[in-house]
Amino acid sequence: MRPVAIVGIGKTAFGAFPDRDLRSLAVEAGQKCLADANVSPSQVEAFHLGNFAGPSFVGQNHLAPYVAGALGISGAPCTRFEAACASSGSAFAHAVAAVAAGIHDLVLVCGVEKMTSQSTAKVAEILAGAGDMSGEGRVGATFPALFAMIARRHMFQYGTTREHLSAVAVKNHANGAKNPQAHMRKVITMEQALAGKPISEPLTVYDCSLISDGAAAVMLAPLDRALEFTSKAVRILGVAQTSDHVALDSKEDITTFRAVRAAGEKAYKMSGLGPADIQFAELHDCFTIAEIIASEDLGFVAKGQGGPYALSGATSLTGERPINTSGGLKSKGHPVGATGVAQLCDIAMQIRGEAGDRQLARNQIGLAQNLGGSGATAVVTILGAA
Amino acid sequence: MRPVAIVGIGKTAFGAFPDRDLRSLAVEAGQKCLADANVSPSQVEAFHLGNFAGPSFVGQNHLAPYVAGALGISGAPCTRFEAACASSGSAFAHAVAAVAAGIHDLVLVCGVEKMTSQSTAKVAEILAGAGDMSGEGRVGATFPALFAMIARRHMFQYGTTREHLSAVAVKNHANGAKNPQAHMRKVITMEQALAGKPISEPLTVYDCSLISDGAAAVMLAPLDRALEFTSKAVRILGVAQTSDHVALDSKEDITTFRAVRAAGEKAYKMSGLGPADIQFAELHDCFTIAEIIASEDLGFVAKGQGGPYALSGATSLTGERPINTSGGLKSKGHPVGATGVAQLCDIAMQIRGEAGDRQLARNQIGLAQNLGGSGATAVVTILGAA
């Protein structure tokens, strides 16, 4: 297997864009990425599209050639990958494997979702399809309800508090306020977070990520060809996708995500690094409790210590290991199919020194963790300066 | 790249099964395949699921871990591939690449669709999502209408007749009648086919494939390990996936599918074979005109000669190059996400000498062609005796 690099990145702003359709978002991200990598559409050897529910959100399926055609990509295999909110993380993991194995040199990976054209109730119903509709979904358990159960159990088992959850929200809103591409650029206080409108006890509106439109793209190439395209290549040090049961009641323990632990172990092994080497991370904070659990599952802290870790300030922009400098799904926004690749763009921006007001000094090794459903899919990627 | 083999196959019957859900169909095919390959779920290193529109047909998304969990596959990356009616062909092509490159040894590829729980009108609407909903779909052009335009143009340009189309239907029904797993085991006469109820002129009900439930699976392994699992290994001689524009009006010529031609050329090149070497084939006869065009695009006959070729009997069970000995999508049935892998199972059954009343004597080299939408995705695979 040969080393692989990200030689271009491109993102749309995340937000609610009533005048934009799914394809125009994906095309904007793809074109920005092609321009950033100095690659023409005819050079692209394969196109991987991550999308969760375009057919349900906007009525269009067969999305990979649909987007690729508009980008001017012709003849190359164009494939849509669906793995719930880890759809574009999965598209990326398969693309890295194809380049590492020498099957392709230039692969464009894009993630996209257009969610805001549906009512919030309809969005919740579509998202519930990432869980077990024959069980959870049938009894009305939408994702806020599932993660509320997870949060309650984490509180019971480890003493996690409302303040711990709110600390994640306050930090991510502070970071997102500095991100010009974030959906919600609004600083919130601990008092506001604690007084948030209840959604599903103990989660309030400030514990839940946003319903957003957006797209993101990265261009992959073999590391030994990276200089042909960019002077700012980012190396993929490790990547792994793993799976677990879909239904929450099939899991042995709902305070940890087995797939995240397994993907983390594999990515660490591939990179030769350990948790202590990770300088900063983008973690999948679909709900505040998910960031806390991810920081434990990836070994940043011991099991049960994710809450105090967040409250301590260690994960803030000026802390020992900043988490979600982009604002995370909570503040940057969460167009679900775009999120996996957007995290990688955000890590790459830090490594390239392009993170503006959020720029870190220790920016050489970053980790991205992308979660599907309530943990049935996980993708963990470790990126480093090339 | 190392040679890859199919070491196990498994299929459900195709039909309308009101008492079966999507997962139970996929699990049946997967379990039959695991048993046939003598592989346990814990040995499976990756699970690829082809499915077009489970979320729209049955409301369940995140289908790869959903099915894998029920099969007892744990920890392995589980990914859903969507490429319209070529979804499982695409899942297969990516799996072959992963095994060929040495990324995995044992990959289970499954295709599934559960369609008959929706009304025919709703099915047509969901299928239309494989075309361009912003253009074709918006003006009400469902797939029978799109393929009717294709047929009309082929008639105008090459003199193709109603009899040519009906010859495909008569042959495929004759073959399907001998297939115990076919959806519609009904012999029809040329007179019946010519007098079929109009669906979209010039296509009648006998020119259109069926709306079906069903699943199919194949197990892949490196060829040099095949004997560990089976004495009936089938070798993958060539495989390629390519893409083209989604909208019919974006194509230069609607009487040929550029993606099929390109995938065919790549698969031939990889195998070192040409059209003359192909002894039999499963072609994607979503409509009768599609089989005629595929036989031309793959070089079995010159452009425009697909109709006379079908009418001549050359493609019947006793002809020079039998096509769709399974009955094809027309008679075997077309659960869209299952079709690509089901074609491979049917080719493998011929090579293994397990095709019963349809068994061919010249059964060493077969080709499968899987089409997505009106030609935006194509997957061509050439299989041979190991």
Question: Residue B87 domain-assigned?
Answer: yes
**For the residues B267-296, what does the mean pLDDT come to?**
98
Interface test with B, best of A22, A66, A265 (most B CBs within 10 A): A66
Query: How far is B382 from B320, CA to CA, in rounded Å?
Result: 18
Does B93 reach chain A within 8 Å, measured CB to CB?
yes
Give the dihedral of Cα atoms A97, A103, A109, A115; nearest 10 deg: -80
DSSP string covering B116-168, please?
Answer: TTS-HHHHHHHHHTTS-IIIIITTT--HHHHHHHHHHHHHHHH---HHHHHHH
- Fill in the DSSP letter of residue B78: E
The residue type found at B74 is S
Residues B280 and B226 in one domain: no
Would you state the pLDDT for residue B74? 86
Number of Cβ within 10 Å of residue B118's Cβ equals: 17
Closest CA to A131 of A116, A119, A144, A118: A144
As given in the structure block, the two tokens for residue A13 are 């702003």
Nearest CA in chain B to A83: B62
User: How many domains does chain B contain in total?
Assistant: 2
Query: How far is A368 from A209, CA to CA, in rounded Å?
Result: 17
Residues A70 and A188 in one domain: no
Distance of CA B161 to the CA centre of its chain: 25
Q: Which is it for strands B46-50 and B78-82: parallel, antiparallel or unpaired? A: parallel
With a CB cutoff of 8 Å and minimum separation 6, the contacts of A18 are A116, A117
Residues B194 and B224 in one domain: no
- Closest approach of chain A CAs to the CA of B229, in angstroms? 25
- Among positive and negative, which fits the CA dihedral A297, A301, A303, A307? negative
Do residues A293 and A264 lie in contact, with contact meaning Cβ atoms separated by under 8 Å? no
Q: What is the pTM of this model?
A: 0.97
Query: How far is B316 from B312, CA to CA, in rounded Å?
Result: 9
Residues B258 and B248 in one domain: yes
Select the residue of A94, A130, A245 nearest B94 (Cβ to Cβ): A94
- Determine, for residues A243 and B90 on separate chains, whether the beta-carbon distance falls below 8 Å: no
With a cut of 90, say whether residue A352 has pLDDT above it.
yes
Residues B289 and B321 in one domain: yes
pLDDT tier for residue A74 given thresholds of 50, 70 and 90:
confident
Nearest CA in chain A to B261: A75
Select the residue of B75, B83, B134 nearest A80 (Cβ to Cβ): B83
As given in the structure block, the two tokens for residue A97 are 């494997």
* Helix or strand holding residue B72 (H, E): none
43-82 of B, contacting A, C-beta below 8 A: 47, 52-53, 55-56, 58-66, 68-69, 73-82
Closest CA to B308 of B161, B186, B173: B161
Q: Which is it for strands A280-282 and A365-372: parallel, antiparallel or unpaired? A: parallel
Does A369 reach chain B within 8 Å, measured CB to CB?
no
Mean pLDDT, chain A, whole residue set: 97
Chain B residue numbers with beta carbons less than 8 Å from the beta carbon of A378 are none
139-178 of B, contacting A, C-beta below 8 A: none
- Closest approach of chain B CAs to the CA of A245, in angstroms? 5
- Closest approach of chain B CAs to the CA of A56, in angstroms? 7
pLDDT in tens, B324-380: 999 999 999 999 999 999 999 999 999 999 999 999 999 999 999 999 999 999 999
As given in the structure block, the two tokens for residue A321 are 């290991």
What CATH number should be reported for the domain holding residue A115? 3.40.47.10
Would you state the pLDDT for residue A13? 98
Residues B181 and B293 in one domain: yes
Q: Which residues pair with B385 in a beta bridge?
A: B234
Would you state the pLDDT for residue B256? 98
- Determine, for residues B62 and A101 on separate chains, whether the beta-carbon distance falls below 8 Å: no
C-alpha gyration radius of chain A: 19
Question: Residue B124 domain-assigned?
Answer: no
Residues A180 and A41 in one domain: no
Residues B46 and B103 in one domain: yes
Query: How far is B326 from B178, CA to CA, in rounded Å?
Result: 8
Chain A residue numbers with beta carbons less than 8 Å from the beta carbon of B94 are 79, 94
Residues A246 and A218 in one domain: no
- Determine, for residues A55 and B126 on separate chains, whether the beta-carbon distance falls below 8 Å: yes
- Determine, for residues A61 and B83 on separate chains, whether the beta-carbon distance falls below 8 Å: no
As given in the structure block, the two tokens for residue B369 are 């062609």
With a CB cutoff of 8 Å and minimum separation 6, the contacts of B364 are B279, B351, B384, B385
Select the residue of B61, B97, B129 nearest A98 (Cβ to Cβ): B97
Residues B350 and B201 in one domain: yes
* Helix or strand holding residue B109 (H, E): strand B107-114
What is the span of the domain harbouring residue A140?
120-207+237-385
pLDDT in tens, A196-216: 999 999 999 999 999 999 999
Phi-psi category of B29—alpha, beta or left, where left has phi over 0 and alpha has psi -120 to 50?
alpha
Nearest CA in chain A to B21: A134
Query: How far is A367 from A369, CA to CA, in rounded Å?
Result: 7
pLDDT in tens, B65-101: 999 999 999 889 999 999 999 999 999 999 999 999 9
Query: How far is A186 from A188, CA to CA, in rounded Å?
Result: 6
- Determine, for residues A77 and B241 on separate chains, whether the beta-carbon distance falls below 8 Å: yes
**For the residues B17-21, what does the mean pLDDT come to?**
97
As given in the structure block, the two tokens for residue A172 are 């991510």
Question: Residue B304 domain-assigned?
Answer: yes
Does B300 reach chain A within 8 Å, measured CB to CB?
no
Number of Cβ within 10 Å of residue A19's Cβ equals: 5
- Determine, for residues B62 and A372 on separate chains, whether the beta-carbon distance falls below 8 Å: yes
- Closest approach of chain B CAs to the CA of A80, in angstroms? 5
- Closest approach of chain A CAs to the CA of B84, in angstroms? 5
* Helix or strand holding residue A91 (H, E): helix A87-100
Residues B193 and B316 in one domain: yes
Does B129 reach chain A within 8 Å, measured CB to CB?
yes
- Determine, for residues A69 and B97 on separate chains, whether the beta-carbon distance falls below 8 Å: no
B245 is catalytic: no
Question: Residue B125 domain-assigned?
Answer: no
Select the residue of A76, A79, A130 nearest B61 (Cβ to Cβ): A130
With a cut of 90, say whether residue A109 has pLDDT above it.
yes
* Helix or strand holding residue B385 (H, E): strand B377-385
DSSP string covering A184-215, please?
Answer: ------HHHHHTPPEEETTEEGGGB----EEE
With a cut of 90, say whether residue A160 has pLDDT above it.
yes
Given the residues B104, B154, B164, B334, select the one marked as catalytic.
Answer: B334
With a cut of 90, say whether residue A46 has pLDDT above it.
yes
Select the residue of A65, A73, A132 nearest B246 (Cβ to Cβ): A65
Query: How far is A63 from A54, CA to CA, in rounded Å?
Result: 8
Given the residues A85, A208, A286, A345, select the one marked as catalytic.
Answer: A85
Chain A residue numbers with beta carbons less than 8 Å from the beta carbon of B258 are 75
Would you state the pLDDT for residue B69? 97
Query: How far is A315 from A280, CA to CA, in rounded Å?
Result: 8
Closest CA to A255 of A85, A372, A367, A374: A374
Residues B268 and B370 in one domain: yes
Q: Which is it for strands B280-282 and A198-200: parallel, antiparallel or unpaired? A: unpaired
C-alpha gyration radius of chain B: 19
With a CB cutoff of 8 Å and minimum separation 6, the contacts of B376 are A62, A65, A66, A69, B84, B130, B243, B244, B245, B246, B259
- Determine, for residues A65 and B103 on separate chains, whether the beta-carbon distance falls below 8 Å: no
Query: How far is B44 from B47, CA to CA, in rounded Å?
Result: 7
A85 is catalytic: yes
Burial grade of A272 (CB within 10 A; 0-12, 13-18, 19 or more): exposed
Given the residues B33, B85, B286, B345, select the one marked as catalytic.
Answer: B85
Does A130 reach chain B within 8 Å, measured CB to CB?
yes
Query: How far is B297 from B259, CA to CA, in rounded Å?
Result: 9
- Determine, for residues A75 and B103 on separate chains, whether the beta-carbon distance falls below 8 Å: no
Reported ipTM: 0.96
Query: How far is A304 from B121, CA to CA, in rounded Å?
Result: 52
pLDDT tier for residue B305 given thresholds of 50, 70 and 90:
very high
pLDDT in tens, B91-120: 999 999 999 999 999 999 999 999 999 999
Domain boundary pick from A234, A269, A301: A234
Interface test with B, best of A82, A265, A286 (most B CBs within 10 A): A82
With a cut of 90, say whether residue B126 has pLDDT above it.
yes
Taking one residue from A and the other from B, the number of pairs with CB-CB distance under 8 angstroms is 197
Least confident of A17-21, A138-142, B291-295, B334-338: A138-142
Would you state the pLDDT for residue A1? 84
Chain A residue numbers with beta carbons less than 8 Å from the beta carbon of B380 are none
- Determine, for residues B61 and A84 on separate chains, whether the beta-carbon distance falls below 8 Å: yes
With a cut of 90, say whether residue A178 has pLDDT above it.
yes
**For the residues A92-112, what does the mean pLDDT come to?**
97
Select the residue of B68, B82, B98 nearest A80 (Cβ to Cβ): B82
- Determine, for residues B82 and A78 on separate chains, whether the beta-carbon distance falls below 8 Å: no
Closest CA to B282 of B189, B382, B211: B382
As given in the structure block, the two tokens for residue A345 are 């763009």
Return phi, psi of residue A3, to 5°.
-65, 150
235-274 of A, contacting B, C-beta below 8 A: 240-247, 250, 258-259, 262
Number of Cβ within 10 Å of residue B191's Cβ equals: 9
Q: Where are the beta strands (DSSP E) in chain B?
A: 4-11, 46-50, 78-82, 107-114, 198-200, 203-204, 213-222, 234-243, 280-282, 365-372, 377-385
